[in-house]
Amino acid sequence: MSVLSNFFIKNNSCSFLSSVILASSITPSPTMSMCSTFLPQIPSNFRRNPFFSFPIKPLFSTCSKAFSSQSSKENESPARIGFLGLGIMGSPMAQNLIKAGCDVTVWNRTKSKCDPLISLGAKYKSSPEEVASSCDVTFAMLADPESAVDVACGEYGVANGLSPGKGYVDVSTVDGATSKLIGKQVKATGALFLEAPVSGSKKPAEDGQLIFLTAGDEALYEMVAPFLDIMGKSRFYLGDVGNGAAMKLVVNMIMGSMMASFSEGLLLSKKVGLDPSVLVEVVSQGAISAPMFSMKGPSMVQAVYPTAFPLKHQQKDLRLALGLAESVSQPTPIAAAANELYKVAKSHGLSDQDFSAVIEALKPQFQPSRKE
């Protein structure tokens, strides 16, 4: 199978862009020339470092042709990638970049989380500002809107270290207004900005199987595509900043409601004398089957919730999705009800459990006492 056909199969969502990039490796196109201010700091990396022999993702060498065709200078520095926020998602994402041979510099508020990555070869800087100033492109995977703004725009924040020719890619799940605020600060430095929240949890992050929902500077999107392809299995470019955030919030609104509904079903099945494990099996074979139910159902039946997606983040996403719905007067009664359930779960100390622990909020001990 040719490299080109691999590319289309793996990334059927962006086949137009792929063909633009591939074509650019042969004949410079207007799309690629849009990237030229950024390119001088990136391309030689793709000729000199181990990316070319990266065995799992032949796609990458396809993309790298686009970069190498833009430059023939031998004395350019390799692309330097910053990664901020090394929680459940950020750590495996940064790890995959390091394992692919990228030159990665990390920072995390709790410094100890940097140590495993440093031992894999990452560099360390002591602030987001220093990471951004020492890197060509900086990724951030932060908890929520507050931390995303703080890291990007606060004291010693990313914006202080950015300048023309650099790029900032925020992969955190935030609302569109937050993303636009960050984008504005980034653009004021002359750097490029891309929002790129991800769909997919801990395991897809470890396996490089995330789905990127990007929006913002298309030139930066094209520049970082090879890195997204190391961390993910597909990528969507959705236009203006805010669209990536909105897409992610809609997806997670659906997910939060599905999990709440599944929880009700598991508990009801048990109460009427059925085996909830059999319900999981039945669901898995029918039209409402979902990987999420098959993966999480068995542990939910056992009342254990190993954290992949923290419940507090699911509730944050529902809250932000409800705000999005409110902004356009779209009724979302199911999501609103689900949100209340996650709030109950949070108030009972389940914030850091997996979001499947929302089922606990439906159990008698967590229900408001009722007069018979």
Backbone angles phi, psi at 78, to 5 degrees: -65, 160
| Angstrom distance (rounded) from CA 84 to CA 149 | 13
Q: Which of 248, 296, 312, 316 is the catalytic position?
A: 248
Assess 176 for contact with ligand NDP (CB under 6 A): no
> Annotated catalytic, 248?
yes
Considering the complex, state which of residue 137 and residue 259 has its C-beta at the smaller distance from ligand O=CC(=O)O: 259
| Number of neighbours of residue 240 by Cβ within 10 angstroms | 12
Q: For residues 135-167, b (16+ Cβ closer than 10 Å) or e, as one string?
A: bbbbbbbbbbbebbbbbbbeeebbbbbbeeebb
CB 197 within 8 A of CB 245: yes
- With CA atoms as reference, report the closest residue to 219 among 24, 3, 52, 8: 24
Residue 41's binding partner out of ligand NDP, ligand O=CC(=O)O, none, with CB under 5 to 8 Å set by partner kind: none
| Angstrom distance (rounded) from CA 317 to CA 268 | 26
Considering the complex, state which of residue 114 and residue 359 has its C-beta at the smaller distance from ligand NDP: 114
Assess 236 for contact with ligand O=CC(=O)O (CB under 6 A): no
> 162 Cβ partners below 8 Å, 6+ apart?
132, 133, 138, 168, 186, 189, 190, 191
Assess 59 for contact with ligand NDP (CB under 6 A): no
Q: Which stretch binds ligand O=CC(=O)O (CB under 6 A): 149-157, 193-201, 267-275, 297-305?
A: 193-201
Assess 199 for contact with ligand O=CC(=O)O (CB under 6 A): yes
Considering the complex, state which of residue 54 and residue 139 has its C-beta at the smaller distance from ligand NDP: 139
Assess 214 for contact with ligand O=CC(=O)O (CB under 6 A): no
Supply the Cα-derived Rg of the chain in whole angstroms.
Answer: 22
Sole binder of ligand NDP in the list 43, 78, 82, 87 (CB under 6 A): 87
Residues engaged in binding ligand NDP (CB under 6 A): 85-90, 108-110, 113, 141-144, 147, 150-151, 172-173, 198, 201-202, 308-310, 313
Active site residues: 248
